[in-house]
A = this chain, B = another copy of it.
């Protein structure tokens, strides 16, 4: 008689059967990075997405929502939601574009500027946690592959 398909009570569960799924490893690594990020930013109460958007507005004052959406591969409405949260926190101002009435111009508030500066320091710490265990060569190879996936 065949073994019952539920006769696995003494088998220790593992991910072995899924080990070849690259997408799973990406998802798990992303989750680990996400958790360390949130821990690092527990004081500032900012998410990865929010810091990234803040950083972009800092780098390109007057940037529009659609620009951010395209750079981060987000939907217009998704971008709207993230920017709304940053505005509610008082970090970003919306204005009208003088050249194109359809566009918003996004800029950092005074608070936004100082918060971004602080956030950059924390991102550096978080990145050190992430990169510290790898050689520069490994990081380069890793980022090259990631870019070929998302670009």
Contacts and interface: CB of A to CB of B under 8 A. Distances in A.
Contacts of A29: 26, 146-147, 149-150
6 contacts: A8-B62, A13-B59, A22-B142, A28-B72, A31-B73, A32-B149
A28 B63 contact: no
A60 B146 CA distance: 32
Chain A contact patch, size range = 35 or more
Interface in A13-54: 13-15, 17-18, 20-33, 35, 37, 48-49, 52
A37 B18 contact: no
A61 to B, nearest CB: 4
A23 B130 contact: yes
A60 to B, nearest CB: 4
A48 B131 CA distance: 26
A26 B25 CA distance: 11
Contacts of A13: 56, 59-60, 63, 67-68, 71
Contacts of A30: 26-27, 30
